[in-house]
Structure 1
């Protein structure tokens, strides 16, 4: 009898664990499927089966908490209704054929910790509403066709550890708001069209381990404040329009030896001076 009761309890727990999600969340997933040409996905969904069995969908306590449809031949656009998935913590749609713009409603995903829409064909600007997704720890949008400036609302993402926006068409200056991200460990903005100076406030990013700004149009003096980033392990700020001289300590950190491109398109290495005091005088 005791064994029988144990079996019944186990079956009950199993059933509860895999109960169906709400109609709203299920319909939101169906709309995602329809908007992204689900008939031609590599791994298709069977709508006659429970949502927890659908490829790439994770359900906990009747809530959709994660979607990973990487390399699954999605095409089309993301529906704005994606914000209905209020418990979603991870949305990974890496390496597909998604086009159109990132929906403004993306900011409604308050529980979202990981967003990866990289290696698609997304265009338009990164919506200012991204700053409303305050639980984000990683934001990866690289290898798209995104344009416009980096949203100045980004300073709301105080939990952000990874910001990877490289290989897009982003322009304008690096917003001052970005230097307020104290938890940031990886900052990859290379291969865009960014302009302006690199602020000495870069030193505020004390947790930074990886800094990649190469292949942009940044100019001015490389701030000596970079020396204060004690956790920095990898750096590449070459192929910009920086000028002046740099300290030997900074030069040693750059993977491409601080090669810069002048107005004639000619690349040359920046002058390195190991006399720190002389470098400071030159900066002023």
Structure 2
């Protein structure tokens, strides 16, 4: 009998935690469904059933905290109202057919930790307000058609561990604040149109394990400061217009290619210098 009562209470409180989603949050989900052609999704929502049964929706204490509709054939634009989910920690819409721009109100998602809008058809720039999401750990918007520059205050994302924006049309130089992301492990910005050089302040990215900047328009010398990044295992800077030579210790890293482009677009191989000299230069 005691076990039955315990089981009943467990189920009761579990259901209580899932129940009572506000009408305002439900209406936002409905708008998302309508805007992205929900009737044609791979896994559709049965709008006549409780929200907690809807595919990809996570609820805690009556609040929507997670939306994961990756690879589900969402076609259309995101309603701006989606930025009103004050308790949302995960928004994953990877590999769909979402078009339009990212709302400037994205910064309202104060509790967001993971944002993945990759492999869609998004255009426009990355909103500056995204830098207000102070607990964001993963920002993935690769394989879209984004343009413009990185937000100047990207360094405000102190908890960011991954920044993956490859295969877009982003331009300009890296903002100085980018080098303040001391928890950043993955910086993947390849196949864009970034210009300028890599600052010696790259040595501040002490947690970096993966650096991918290939196929951009970056120039200058590859800084010896990269040698100081002891956690850096994988690095690819190929097909930029970097000049000079590269430390042997970097050339041996996984993914490193010596192929560059000159100002005329002709491919050439960089020279490799002794690693000891590279380390010495970094310490000067």
TM-score normalised by the shorter chain: which range applies?
over 0.9
* Count of matched residue positions in the alignment of Structure 1 and Structure 2: 282
**Which sections of structure 2, spanning at least 5 residues, go unmatched?**
none
Distance 2:129 2:182 in 1: 20
Q: CA deviation at 1:2?
A: 4.3
Q: CA deviation at 1:6?
A: 3.7
Q: Which moved more, 1:9-18 or 1:232-241?
A: 9-18
Distance 2:14 2:184 in 1: 39
Aligned partners of 1:95 and 1:118 also within 8 Å: yes
Distance 2:270 2:66 in 1: 46
Q: CA deviation at 1:172?
A: 0.3
Distance 2:238 2:270 in 1: 9
Distance 2:11 2:225 in 1: 61
Matched, 1:142 2:157: no
What are the within-5 Å matches in structure 2 for residues 76-155 of structure 1? 76-155=76-155
Distance 2:72 2:228 in 1: 43
Q: Which moved more, 1:165-174 or 1:37-46?
A: 37-46
- Name 1:214's counterpart in structure 2: 214
Aligned partners of 2:185 and 2:208 also within 8 Å: yes
- Name 2:180's counterpart in structure 1: 180
What are the within-5 Å matches in structure 2 for residues 1-284 of structure 1? 2=2, 5-6=5-6, 8-253=8-253, 255-274=255-274, 276-277=276-277
The verdict on how the C-alpha distance between 1:221 and 1:157 changes in structure 2, with shifts beyond 3 A counting, is same
Distance 1:242 1:279 in 2: 19
What is the DSSP-based 3-state SS (H/G/I as helix, E as strand, rest coil) of the residue aligned with 2:214?
coil
What is the DSSP-based 3-state SS (H/G/I as helix, E as strand, rest coil) of the residue aligned with 1:99?
strand
Distance 2:14 2:262 in 1: 65
Aligned partners of 1:273 and 1:279 also within 8 Å: no
The verdict on how the C-alpha distance between 1:223 and 1:48 changes in structure 2, with shifts beyond 3 A counting, is same
Distance 1:173 1:121 in 2: 24
What is the DSSP-based 3-state SS (H/G/I as helix, E as strand, rest coil) of the residue aligned with 2:265?
coil
Q: CA deviation at 1:271?
A: 1.1
Q: CA deviation at 1:278?
A: 8.4
Q: CA deviation at 1:4?
A: 5.7
Distance 1:275 1:12 in 2: 64
Q: CA deviation at 1:103?
A: 0.8
The verdict on how the C-alpha distance between 1:221 and 1:19 changes in structure 2, with shifts beyond 3 A counting, is same
Distance 2:26 2:135 in 1: 23
Aligned partners of 1:130 and 1:153 also within 8 Å: no
Query: Cα RMSD between the aligned structures?
Result: 1.8
Q: CA deviation at 1:38?
A: 1.1
TM-score (norm 1): 0.94
Distance 2:5 2:196 in 1: 70
What is the DSSP-based 3-state SS (H/G/I as helix, E as strand, rest coil) of the residue aligned with 2:268?
strand
